Amino acid sequence: MEEKYTEREIIRSGDGSHTLYLPLLNETYHSRHGAITESLYVFIEKGLNAMTGDNIKIFEVGFGTGLNAWLTLHEAAQKTICYHSIEAYPLQEKEYTLINYSDEREYPEGRERYLQLHKLAWDEEHTLSPYFHFKKIHQKLEHYQVNSFDYDLIYYDAYGPGYQPDMWDAAHFEKMHLMLKEGGVLVSYCCSGVFKRALKAAHFEVNKIAGPPGKREMVVAKKK
């Protein structure tokens, strides 16, 4: 069971940035059209940059390659961000050290910052700058005990419903609803009927918007 999520190959996506391919699932971590392109559009543009206020608390489902966290870190000069991310199957050092995001996106200290996100201890709070506070949670979402109810934004970045269906049932979104502030937002690349029905069952207001390149639609859901 675990092997299908931990047997991984690094491949290039359409914009040149790396993603991981899982041969036992025939699935990739990101869009084959472009890993960075997708993450910037879905999570930064339609998620983080759509939030009002200067202090944003984020919960990410699926730390994965660390791409969403790394891109968010480089937005933190504009906002103060508290970023928590959960992951059941962390990358190994031999994997994340080969990822090329810092080559494709020339941020100051980009390579060092990317590696730092992976090397930091799990299940501990870290301050990477006065504007970015970070914690990785090594756990399956189903076992996670909610202890914060004040998140502004959730990045929902699990494998698709066809590959990891247990991650897309209403019980998880009831948990997400509980964790968000009133008016808080959940964003995801996914726009499947299963996902939208689960969100509505968990009392989210569900909105479909134009998706990133290669995907017609995505979802922005709001806590009522």
In a domain? residue 27: no
Could you give the number of structural domains in the chain?
1
pLDDT at 224: 85
Could you give the CA distance from residue 172 to residue 166 in angstroms, rounded to a whole number?
Answer: 9
In a domain? residue 28: no
pLDDT in tens, the chain (224 residues): 589 999 999 999 999 999 999 999 999 999 999 999 999 999 999 999 999 999 999 999 999 999 999 999 999 988 999 999 999 999 999 999 999 999 999 898 999 999 999 999 999 999 999 999 999 999 999 999 999 999 999 999 999 999 999 999 999 999 999 999 999 999 999 999 999 999 999 999 999 999 999 999 999 999 98
In a domain? residue 69: yes
pLDDT at 1: 57
Residues 6+ apart with CB under 8 A from 58: 48, 72, 81, 82, 83, 84, 151, 152, 153, 154, 155
In a domain? residue 7: no
pLDDT at 108: 86
Q: At what angle do helices 193-201 and 170-179 cross, to 10 degrees?
A: 50
pLDDT at 78: 83
Residue 131 domain boundaries: 35-223
pLDDT at 172: 97
Q: What is the three-class DSSP state of 94?
A: helix
In a domain? residue 206: yes
Query: Can you give the CATH number for the domain in which 57 is found?
Result: 3.40.50.150
